[in-house]
Amino acid sequence: MRIVVLFFAAFLGIVLRDTVFNGLSVAGGKPDFVLILVVFFAIFRGSVQGGLMGAALGMLEDLMTGRFIGINALCKGLLGYAAGISERNLYKNNFFVPIAAVLAATFLNAVLYYLFSVLIGSNVGLEKLMLSSIPDAVYNMCFSPVFYAIFYNFFVMKSND
Amino acid sequence: MLKKKWIRNLAVAVCLLIIFLGLAVNTVQPRENLTWIEKGLRIAASPFQYGFKGINDSVSGFFSYFTEKEALQQENDALKKEVNQLHSQLTQMDEINMENIRLKELLNYKDAMQGQYNLQLAEIIAENNNNLQHTITLNKGSNDGVVTGMTVMNHSGLIGRISAVMPESSEVMLLPDRESAVGARVWSTREVIGVVEGDGTDSSSLQMVHLPHDADIYVGDDIVTSGLDHVFPGGIHIGEVTAIEYSPNGLTKTAYLKPYVTFSRLEEVFILMNSGGGASN
């Protein structure tokens, strides 16, 4: 059930990003809800599940909006895996953990996107990608506490009950 | 057991990597058609997109209020600046238009007087009007052939005479000056000889003095130069009689004139080059 909710949340997040947040775009930046979901899921569920969920939600993003199918799946899959590695080491009650994780993930996502696009022969320009990541990162960080609170409620509070 | 699980995970990861890379490489070229799953997802997203579009419009409208306000403020400032510039240009155009009308009138007058007078157009470059004196400075001087005593007039009538000459400019004593006096007569009857002078205080009023008590002069009569003073040529219009006043002893009377020339609005004038030449001050 949680997986379905997560997929639907990602689905809505993609639609929201391309509709509502088009009008709220600041310096060309828009929030990447899929990235936030993947990172938080991985933080609570570990690298393997995080990687798989990242790949799945990335694929959803590719299929809904992507030009190259598979790029976001690869990026988000690796991001999920990387975020999941920290599952045991992170102190999940700290408020700054989600913000720092999402900030790092946004820039890592840009680097991975660049690397994979070069690999498949479609250079998008690293500098441009990194510059456009700055407003994206700010947006993502703003939404992080809200999403983190929801995830915390789902994965920590409910499992304690 | 742990190693086996790790190997299995690695194998899954490598497989996924290969699959996704393969997909990406295959889709890097522009495609004509979307896959059925892409179409399905996009069709499913459409109702949400339509729904969110309304929110987007409202949100955009809310924020655009602030951004547009700033843009409108800037536009308003720019337009105000432009209006000021245009207003200035319009004033200049009016000025040019007025000058054009004046010059046209002067030119017509000059053409009409071609045989009678040798007229030289001059521009006023300075004015000195106060209770003590009424003079103007013209941009023509001795280098242009101007000499002291020459008559100055325009298409409306007599203005005064050249009282001082410099190489590049000359000074004109206006009719309202207290030192000014000109021999005059009634234009219609060519009779009644008198002297028109200014009282030195008001440039819009002249007086014709030393008139006999029975002189045939009435309010509304046109007064012109008589030419008998050998300073001003005869027949130049001076003004219109507005009032007549008898002296206390009843022997003489004074006619008050409203000059045809508006001395406070002079811009360009004519110098009669063949008048009063060489007359010493």
Tell me whether A85 touches chain B (CB under 8 Å).
no
Count the domains in chain B: 2
Taking 70 as the threshold, does the pLDDT of residue A86 lie above it?
A: yes
pLDDT of res. B278: 42
pLDDT tens, position by position, A20-77: 777 677 777 888 899 999 998 888 888 888 889 999 999 998 888 766 788 889 899 9
Contact B231, B276 (CB under 8 A): yes
B197 and B157 both lie in a single domain: yes
C-alpha–C-alpha distance, residues B182 and B238, integer Å: 9
Instruction: Write down which residue in B112, B138, B158 finishes a domain.
Output: B112
What pLDDT does residue B135 have? 83
Residue B169 resides in a domain: yes
Report pLDDT for B51: 80
Are B124 and B149 found together in one domain? yes
Closest of B61, B50, B5, B261 to residue B155, by C-alpha: B261
**Residue where one domain finishes, among candidates B56, B91, B112:** B112
Comparing CA positions, the residue from B277, B268, B212, B276 lying closest to residue B244 is B212
**Does B73 lie in the same domain as B182?**
no
Residue A161 is inside which H or E element, if any?
none
| Confidence tier at B40 by pLDDT (50, 70, 90) | confident
Distance CA A78, CA A108 (A): 10
Q: How far is CA B172 from CA A96, B111, B161, B163, B178, in A?
A: 91, 24, 5, 5, 13
Rounded CA-CA distance B77/B25 in Å is 54
Q: Please name which of A18, A123, A31 lies closest in space to residue A64, comparing C-alpha atoms.
A: A18
Of all residues in chain B, the one with the smallest CA distance to A15 is: B49
- Which secondary-structure segment (H or E) carries B72? helix B36-112
Dig out the tokens for A108 from the structure.
């890592």
Contact call for A68 and B53, based on CB within 8 A:
no
- Which of B29-33, B74-78, B99-103, B201-205 holds the top average pLDDT? B74-78
Using alpha carbons, select from B229, B235, B98 the residue that is nearest to residue B153.
Answer: B235
What would the pLDDT profile of A128-157 be if each residue is shown by its tens digit?
A: 777 778 888 888 888 888 888 888 777 766
Smallest Cα distance from B73 to chain A, Å = 22
Percent of residues in chain A assigned helix, strand, coil, to nearest 5: 80, 0, 20
Q: Which residues lie below 8 Å from residue B113, measured CB to CB, with a gap of 6+?
A: B119
**DSSP label of A26:** B
Residue B131: what pLDDT?
Answer: 61
Does residue B42 or residue A157 have the better pLDDT?
B42
Q: Indicate whether B233 belongs to any domain.
A: yes
- In angstroms, the CA B90 to CA B200 distance is 37
- The residue-averaged pLDDT of B105-115 equals 76
Residue type for position B186 = V
Same domain, B50 and B137: no
Select from A15, A73, A74 the Cβ nearest to the Cβ of B48.
A15
pLDDT at A158 over 70: no
3 state SS of B168 = coil
Which residues in chain B are contacts of A48 at CB distance < 8 A? 9
Reply yes or no on whether the pLDDT at B253 is more than 50.
Answer: yes
The pLDDT assigned to B63 comes to 67
Boundary of a domain, candidates B58, B82, B112? B112
List phi, psi (to 5°) of A86. Answer: -85, 0
pLDDT reported for residue A28: 73
The segment with the largest mean pLDDT, out of A108-117, B1-10, B29-38, is: A108-117
Return the pLDDT at B223: 92
Most confident stretch, A73-77, B201-205, B263-267: A73-77
Query: Rounded to a whole number, what is the distance in Å from the CA of B60 to chain A's nearest CA?
Result: 5
**Does residue B68 form part of some domain?**
yes
Q: Which residues of A touch B23 (CB under 8 A)?
A: 68-70, 73
d(C-alpha B185, C-alpha B188), whole Å = 9
For residues B169 and B100, membership in a common domain is answered with no
Do B196 and B76 fall within a single domain?
A: no
> Residue A155 gets which letter from DSSP?
I
C-alpha to C-alpha distance for B135 and A110, rounded to whole angstroms: 85
Residues B103 and B164 in one domain: no
For the domain that residue B144 is a member of, what is the CATH number? 2.40.10.350
Contact residues on chain B for A59, CB-CB shorter than 8 A: 20
At residue B160, the pLDDT reads: 92
Contacts of A68 in chain B (CB under 8 A): 23-24, 27-28
In chain B, the DSSP E strands lie at: 119-129, 134-138, 151-153, 158-165, 170-174, 181-186, 193-198, 206-212, 222-225, 237-246, 252-259, 268-272
In chain B, % of residues over pLDDT 70? 90
Residue B278 maps to a domain: no
| Assigned domain for B258 exists | yes
- Give the range of the structural domain holding residue B162, as residue numbers without chain letter: 119-272
What per-residue confidence (pLDDT) applies to B280? 36
CB contact under 8 A, B9 and A120: no
- Cα dihedral B22, B24, B30, B31 sign: positive
Task: List, for residues B183-199, the tens digit of each pLDDT value.
Answer: 998 888 777 788 998 87
* Residues B131, B202 within the same domain: yes
**Cβ contacts (< 8 Å) between B2 and chain A: which residues?**
none
Q: How far apart are CA A19 and CA B112, in angstroms?
A: 81
- The answer to whether A27 faces chain B, any CB pair under 8 Å, is no
What pLDDT shows up at residue A67?
65
Within this chain, do residues B128 and B264 fall inside the same structural domain, yes or no? yes
Which of the two residues, B93 and A25, has the higher pLDDT score?
B93
Interface check A64 vs B, CB under 8 A: yes
How many Cβ atoms sit within 10 Å of the Cβ of residue B81? 10
Residue B131 resides in a domain: yes
pLDDT attached to residue B281: 33
- More confident position, B260 or B57: B260
Q: Which amino acid is at B243?
A: A
Assigned domain for B21 exists:
no
Structure letter (DSSP) for residue B161: E
Tell whether the model's pLDDT for residue A124 goes beyond 80. Answer: no
The reply to whether B103 and B129 lie within a common domain is: no
pLDDT digit string, tens, across residues B24-39: 887 777 677 778 888 7
Q: Which residue has the tokens 């021999």?
A: B183
Residues B130, B87: one domain?
no
Residues B187 and B152 in one domain: yes
Q: Is pLDDT larger for residue A117 or for residue B90?
A: B90
Q: What is the mean pLDDT of residues B156-181?
A: 87
